[in-house]
Amino acid sequence: MQASTEGIRAMEPVLETAMSQFHSAADRIRMDDGMRDLLTSFKTVYQTEFPVDMDDGSTRVFSGYRVHHNAARGPVKGGIRYSEMVTLDEVKALAMWMTWKCAVVNVPFGGAKGGVLCNPAEMSSHELQDLTRRFTSEIGPIIGPDRDIPAPDMGTNPQTMAWMMDTYSMEQGYTIPGVVTGKPVAVGGSEGRFEATGRGLLYVLQEHLATVGGVRDRTISVQGFGNVGGAAAKLMVESGAAVTHVSDAEIAIHDPTGIDAPGAFAHINAGGTLRSWFDVHGTGAEEIDHADVLEADVDVLVPAAIENVLTEENADRVKADVVIEGANGPTTPEADQVFADRGITLIPDTLANAGGVTVSYFEWVQARQYLHWSEEQVNAELRRLMVNAYHSVTTRCGSADEGCTFREAAQWIGVERVIEALELRGIFP
C-alpha cells in the first residue's frame, strides 16, 4: 500500500520525497502495513528553544532539533546543520535517509539528524561557539558515543564538533572523543574525514565508469562548492577530469577548458569565497546563471548543494549522461522518473555521498579504541566499502525486474537490512 495522499500532502516537499522513495521500495518487497508504519515512524523527535547572548549585548532565542529515525542496527548517526532553512520535516527526512545510507554501506549505525535555525554567516565565532555549546547542552540527554553521534553538516565544521565534544565532555567530567565525529585531527578526529564525502563520491563514479574509460577526460558540472562539492570537484580534477561548471549560493562559473577546482577549493578553505577566487583567478572563465550548472552539456552532473533542485520542471533539460548525488535529496521522485524515461543514470545519495558517514564510522572506531589510522589506511578502507556498496546495488539492479533504478535498488537493500535487524531483535517487551 501507499501512504495516504492526505498524509503526504501535509508534509514539506523534502519529507514527502523521502517517504515516496521509501514506499516505492516497500511496494517492491510487498511490505505489510505494520512494518511500513514502524519504518516511517521516528524513535525520538527532540525540539528545543534556547537563549544565546549576542555580541551586541542582546539575547536571542534559537530553535533547534534532533531526530532519531531508527536504531535497530546500532547507535544513531547524523549531522548537525546550521541554516535559515532548517525545519523539523527537513530534519526528519535527513534522519530517514541516514538510516538507509548507513545500511547500504553496511556500517552499524541508524539514522539521525539535527539542526539549528540560524544564519552562521551573520554570526561571530564567539556567538557560534556559545550557540553550539548551549545546543549541545540542550540535546545532551539524547546524545552519546553509544547512543547518538553527531557530525558536521551544512553550516557546521570541525571546529563546531570540537566545541560539541568539549561541552559534552565537560558535563560528563572526562574527555569523550567518540561523542561526535568530524573533529579536528588534533582532538581525536580522523585523517581523511574532511574530504571523505567527496572522495567517496569519486570512488563510486570511478567504479561506475571503469568499463568505459574511467573519470579521466570526462566533463563534469558541480552544483554546490562546499565540503562535498568542492572536495569532489578538486579530487575529480586531480583524477584527470575537466570540471567546467561550478556554483555556490552566490555565483555560478563556466570555463570550457576546465576550472582550477583544487585552487578554488584551497582559496575557500583559507577563508575566501568562490566569487573572490573568480575575481582574482578566473581568467578564461565567465559568470553564468545558476540554472546553467544543472543544465550544462557535460558527461556528469553532481548536485551537491541542497534538496529538491532537480524537479519535473528542469529534469528534461539536464544533458548529462550520469547524475551522481552529492547532496541529500536533490532529486524529486518526478525528476527520477524523467531521468529513467530518458535513459539518464542516477546514482543516489544513499550510495554516492555515504563516504562521510563511512569515515565517521572509522573515526568513531578509532576513538573507542584510542587508535589513530593513517590517511592511506582510511582511504583504502573507504574505497573498499564504497566499491562493495556500489556492486551490491548494481547486482540488485541486475537481479531485479526490468526497469529497476539504482535508487530503487539502494533503497531496497537499505530497507531490507533494517528489517532484518528489527526481526532479529524483536519488539520489546
**pLDDT tens for residues 93-144?**
999 999 999 999 999 999 999 999 999 999 999 999 999 999 999 999 999 9
More confident residue, 2 or 264: 264
Once rounded to an integer, what is the mean pLDDT over residues 294-313? 94
| Predicted structure pTM score | 0.92
Residue 12 lies in a domain: no
Residue 26 lies in a domain: no
Residues 329 and 208 in one domain: yes
Residue 163 lies in a domain: yes
Confidence of residue 8 (pLDDT cuts 50, 70, 90): very low
Residues 224 and 96 in one domain: no
**Given this model, what pLDDT does residue 398 score?**
79
pLDDT at position 6 over 70: no
Which among 325, 352, 379 is the end of a domain? 352
pLDDT at position 428 over 60: yes
CATH value at residue 120 = 3.40.50.10860
More confident residue, 379 or 398: 379
Residues 218 and 164 in one domain: no
**Given this model, what pLDDT does residue 7 score?**
40
For residue 94, what are the domain limits? 42-173
pLDDT at position 4 over 70: no
Write down the catalytic residue from 77, 101, 113, 234: 113
Residue 337 lies in a domain: yes
Tally of domains in the chain: 2
**Given this model, what pLDDT does residue 338 score?**
95
Residues 148 and 282 in one domain: no
Once rounded to an integer, what is the mean pLDDT over residues 261-285? 92
More confident residue, 402 or 47: 47
**Given this model, what pLDDT does residue 374 score?**
97
**Given this model, what pLDDT does residue 358 score?**
97
CATH value at residue 328 = 3.40.50.720
- Per-residue HEC secondary structure of the chain comes to CCCCHHHHHCCCHHHHHHHHHHHHHHHHCCCCHHHHHHHCCCCEEEEEEEEEECCCCCEEEEEEEEEEEECCCCCEEEEEEEECCCCHHHHHHHHHHHHHHHHHCCCCCEEEEEEEECCHHHCCHHHHHHHHHHHHHHHHHHCECCCEEEEECCCCCHHHHHHHHHHHHHHHCCCCHHHCCCCCHHHCCCCCCCCHHHHHHHHHHHHHCHHHCCCCCCEEEEECCCCCHHHHHHHHHHCCCEEEEEECCCCEEECCCCCCHHHHHHHHHCCCCHHHHHHHHCCCCEEECCHHHHCCCCCEEEECCCCCCECCCCHHHCCCCEEECCCCCCECHHHHHHHHHHCCEEECHHHHCCHHHHHHHHHHHHHHHCCCCCHHHHHHHHHHHHHHHHHHHHHHHHHCCCCCCHHHHHHHHHHHHHHHHHHHHCCCC
Once rounded to an integer, what is the mean pLDDT over residues 181-197? 95
Residues 47 and 102 in one domain: yes
Residues 75 and 143 in one domain: yes
Residues 200 and 346 in one domain: yes
Residue 414 lies in a domain: no
**Given this model, what pLDDT does residue 126 score?**
97
* pLDDT per position as a tens digit, 329-371: 999 999 999 999 999 999 999 999 999 999 999 999 999 999 9
**92 catalytic, yes or no?**
no
Which among 108, 142, 173 is the end of a domain? 173
Residue 218 lies in a domain: yes
Residue 389 lies in a domain: no
* pLDDT per position as a tens digit, 70-91: 999 999 999 999 999 999 999 9
Residue 156 lies in a domain: yes
Residues 235 and 347 in one domain: yes
* pLDDT per position as a tens digit, 10-68: 678 899 999 999 998 898 888 999 999 999 999 999 999 999 999 999 999 999 999 99
Confidence of residue 397 (pLDDT cuts 50, 70, 90): confident
Residues 148 and 251 in one domain: no
